[in-house]
Structure 1
Amino acid sequence: MSNKIKSFFQLLLISSIFWVFAFVLFTAIRYNGLEEELSLFTDDILYLPVNAYYKHAIIVGLIISVFYAIIEFVFDRLSKRVVLGLSIVFKSLVYFVLIIVVLSGISFLLEEQIDRDLPNEKGWWRDDPFFWITVIYFVVASIIFSLIRVANDRFGRGNFIQVLVGKYKRPKEQEHILMFIDLKDSTKIAEKLGHQKYSQFIQDCFIDLNMSLNNYGAEVYQYVGDEAVIYWPSNRGFKNNNCINLFFAFQKRLEKKQSYYTNKYAFNPKFKAGLHFGKLMVAEIGTIKKDLAFHGDVINTASRIQSLCNTFNKSLLVSESVIEKLSVSDTHYELLSHDMELRGKEERLRIYAINQG
């Protein structure tokens, strides 16, 4: 299964859980205890098929979740280059039409089960209070879901819940792979393009980098100028060699877009990267602007390994701790230094260059 398909099914699973829960909760709020309440105003025996309502709430939730996952998955890839406001407006229109179609279909099914004539004729939704209540509820639920996704992206997949429960209030030791990825010849390009166009150039490069992150289980720790710091928990980073395959996928994407960069900027971007693996401390910092911070020697070492790319004229350098965990044949990497002392460090490391297989 490709990483894109896997990412879609992960989104679909989360979407299904959320929307089924959301519509079951909506049904519970609207119909639980309604019979008893209405019986205070009439002597007639009232019966509401609440169990059928719950069943249809699950069906609505599942249908909505499928379309929601498809739409969000597509827009996640388009929104990198589409104005956020236009993306929100267009998605809102799509969701509005989707609710009309789904509720109309469900009303026909419910009509047969309870043997009652429901208002589902053409244009029924314009004056139907239940429809507008559902729309408002859906909008609120969508905002909540979107905020959860934004927070999850902000702190890294799986970290948002841990931040919510205060896991990182006290620093925690974890094993991570760190990649420092930096633009080659950045000073030369910046001088030629000027600061405004150079910023657009970097922006385009990082958009292309971001298009590959989810496919290889990567998270962004931070952007600093023309450098990005990427990280993986060890299980995700070494699985299928994700930590090096991301770099090669990014290279390939830039090669495919050479004509775009040449025509717009007269430069083809090339990047260099350094990777190191080890234990570091993860802590929640800040009060006005909360963030997760990494502390430890792994960060400094990864940065210094990346700085050696120019020395060895290589694009991807890794430490021995990374090589030991990768599933690559010895024909795809070469030892550059048996015992290299990195500037500012007492210990000495073996440095390897990785070649694309």
Structure 2
Amino acid sequence: MRRSVTLTIVLAITGLLGGGLFRYIFNDPSEASVANYLRSCTHGVALALVMGSVHLYFSSRSSAWVRRWPFVVELLIRSITMAVVLAITAIAMEVILYDHRIEFGWIAGDFPKIMGFSLGLSVPFSTAYELTRMTGGRTLLHVLLGRYRRPIREQRVLLFLDLVGSTSLAEAMGELRVQELLTRFFFDIDEAIVSHGGEVHAYVGDEVIVTWPVNASPSSRRYLDCVFAIDDRLAELADDYRWEFGTVPAFRAGMHAGTVVISECGDSRRQLAYFGDTVNVTARLQQHCKVVGRALLVSGELLRLLPEDANVIIEPLGSTRLRGRAAPIEIFAVARREAATARRQASS
């Protein structure tokens, strides 16, 4: 929801400016009235919002049928759809805003200009949109500004979350079918991550790595709320998962906070890499969930960033030496009180 609102605002502003620019460049100066500029700006906003809607559709689960085709075919379908939808919108807005029938002079004159201008603007927008989807908006900005050209230390919260029982699922369902489940799982939990300010750093097998920067006022429930929102989302879609895959995915998660070294790495394929003890501890916490039979484990460092909340049950598990690490770490199991109560009632 948060991502859609931001995109809508950006598109509306872009369309507003684009419509005014089109009027200034292509129309007769004698027609440069306030009313005509308002019409052009409204026309631009409508075209921009429609363009964004097409992009959102083709990045949603509803367009999975397109992604089954080769990329060239997918690109062709997306381009044709964009052109047709923009053409219909341009014609409809011309009728609505100027209250006249479509004439041949407009079809031969202004209409090609509107289409060329709109499709031309869609290219940089599409590029920025896809880059943002690939890297995350905040990360993309930092990369463009060169923030990570050299290694830099940052205070980060990390979440390692993986699918429970993926190996046994692969044996029962087959690897291709499990990959479909994982793809659906990662797609369905993405909104919960984004809406709570998280950035997906990477997908590694059946695991997703999410990160948050620790700001000047670090006390926040958003880290835990993100995990709880993922749990709620899977509960909402439980019937869909049972119908499609015969099972409802469950997860184990580890969360930790501390210093992370971030840097651009690689040459032929550059990417951001996270280094340091914080990364290793978070991975070990997630793995330790299986040992202690808990769905969510957090470190003492992470716990200190959280405000007190009566609806959260925090269970101290003591100081533990995690695999591959000599120094012990304070570990806590975390759960929602209402969720724990519901489980007890279901089992009684």
TM range (shorter): 0.7 to 0.9
Shift in CA distance, 261/317, structure 1 to aligned 2, threshold 3 Å: same
Q: Would you say 1:16 and 2:12 are equivalent positions?
A: yes
- For residues 203-247 of structure 1, the C-alpha deviation after alignment (integer angstroms, 9 at most, x for no partner) is 222222224332222221111111111112235996762222222
Does structure 2 conserve the Cα–Cα contact (< 8 Å) formed by 1:178 and 1:229?
A: yes
Q: What corresponds to 1:94 in structure 2?
A: 85
- Does the 8 A contact of 1:277 with 1:321 survive in 2? yes
Describe the SS at the equivalent of 2:21: helix
Unaligned runs of 5+ in 1: 35-46, 109-119
1-structure distance, mates of 2:162, 2:197: 20
Q: Which residue of 2 aligns with 1:258?
A: 238
Confirm or deny: 8 A CA contact 1:155 1:292 kept in the other structure: no
CA distance in 2, matches of 1:345, 1:282: 21
Equivalent of 1:334 in 303, 306, 314: 314
CA contact (8 A) 2:155 2:213 kept: yes
Give the 3 Å change call, closer, same or farther, for CA 262–56 of structure 1 in structure 2: closer
Q: Does 1:268 align with 2:268?
A: no
| Alignment root-mean-square deviation, CA | 2.9
Q: Is the 8 A contact 2:157 2:214 kept in 1?
A: yes
Match among 41, 45, 70 for residue 62 of structure 1: 45
In structure 2, the residue matched to 1:349 is 329
CA contact (8 A) 1:275 1:322 kept: yes
Deviation, structure 1 residue 285: 2.4
Q: How does 1:221-300 map onto structure 2 within 5 Å? A: 221-235=201-215, 241-300=221-280
Q: Normalization by structure 2: what TM-score? A: 0.82
Q: 1:236 to 1:106 in 2, by over 3 A?
A: farther
Deviation string, structure 1 residues 162-219 (Cα, Å, up to 9, x no partner): 3223222122222221111111122211111121212122222222222433222222
Unaligned runs of 5+ in 2: 68-73, 338-348
Residue number among 3, 7, 14 corresponding to 2:3 in the alignment:
7
CA distance in 2, matches of 1:68, 1:218: 26
Q: How many residues align?
A: 328
**2:274 aligns to what SS in structure 1?**
strand
Q: Residue 141 of structure 2 aligns with which residue?
A: 161
Q: What residue number does 2:340 align with? A: none
Matched, 1:135 2:115: yes
List per-residue Cα deviations over 1:305-339 (Å, max 9, x = no partner): 10110111110111112111112426623233332
Counterpart-to-counterpart distance in 2, 1:92 and 1:211: 29
1:177/1:232 contact within 8 Å kept:
yes
1-structure distance, mates of 2:139, 2:228:
27
Residue 321 of structure 1 corresponds to: 301
2:41 aligned partner, one-letter code: I
After superposition, the Cα gap between the structure-2 partners of 1:324 and 1:88, relative to the gap in structure 1 and judged at 3 Å, is farther
Residues 112-131 of structure 1: matches in 2 within 5 Å? 120-122=100-102, 124=104, 127-131=107-111
Work out the CA distance in 2 between the residues paired with 1:334 and 1:80.
41
Q: Alignment identity in percent?
A: 23
Q: Tell me the CA shift for residue 78 of structure 1.
A: 4.4
* SS in structure 2 at match of 1:48: helix
AA in 1 matched with 2:32? V
Q: Secondary structure at the match of 2:262?
A: strand
Question: 2 CA distance for matches of 1:182 and 1:355?
Answer: 17
- Which residue of structure 2 lines up, in the alignment, with residue 30 of structure 1? 26
Structure with max Cα Rg = 1
**Deviates most, 47-56 or 264-273:** 47-56
Letter in 1 for 2:190: N
Instruction: Please tell me whether the aligned partners of residues 100 and 125 of structure 1 are also in contact (alpha carbons under 8 angstroms).
Output: no
How is 1:156-195 mapped onto 2 (pairs within 5 angstroms)?
A: 156-195=136-175
Provide the rounded CA distance (Å) in 2 between the counterparts of 1:156 and 1:236. 22
